Amino acid sequence: MHPLRQPSIEEEIYDKVVDLTEYAKRQRWWNRVFGNNSGPVAEKYSVATQIAIGGASGWCAGYLFQKVGKLAATAVGGGLLLLQIANNTGYIQVDWKRVEKDVNKAKKQLKKGANQAGPELNSFVDKSTEFVKKNIVVTSGFIGGFLLGLAS
């Protein structure tokens, strides 16, 4: 284009459309859909984006938790049922006094281990609480999605 020549309206519109398409190519898809906020990391994305990300990840976690929980409950319950049937029919003999002694020993070891892990557990709880406070929108979306995942 000649430097002294004025661009036509069509050329101006074309240039603006090209600039807009270049800008859109540089943006992430969720920024185009939900908008983009500036600020610290917790506020980097819009509220809708944070809820959507939290809800989707919460739903996935809840759904998997439900399926794995059912599988674990079935395995433990079925194992105990088979053990009891085998004991009653005489296939195996269970020394219940020894089982009780071992369970009590395991309880004592767990209590001892829980007392030693106190500072580490408190540190983890403090870090988790801080994360929840900084990311309350994502956390609330996650909790809602988790509950929906458990229900589905």
Q: What percent of the chain has pLDDT over 90?
A: 13
pLDDT at 43: 58
Over residues 55-73, the pLDDT tens digits come to: 899 999 999 999 999 899 9
Per-residue b/e over 36-68, b at no fewer than 16 CB within 10 Å?
eeeeeeeeebbeebbbbbbbebbbeebbeeeee
DSSP lists the bridge partners of residue 58 as none
Residue with tokens 């998997």: 64
Rounded CA-CA distance 30/44 in Å is 12
Q: Rounded to two decimals, what is the model's pTM?
A: 0.51
Name the more confident of 47 and 139.
139
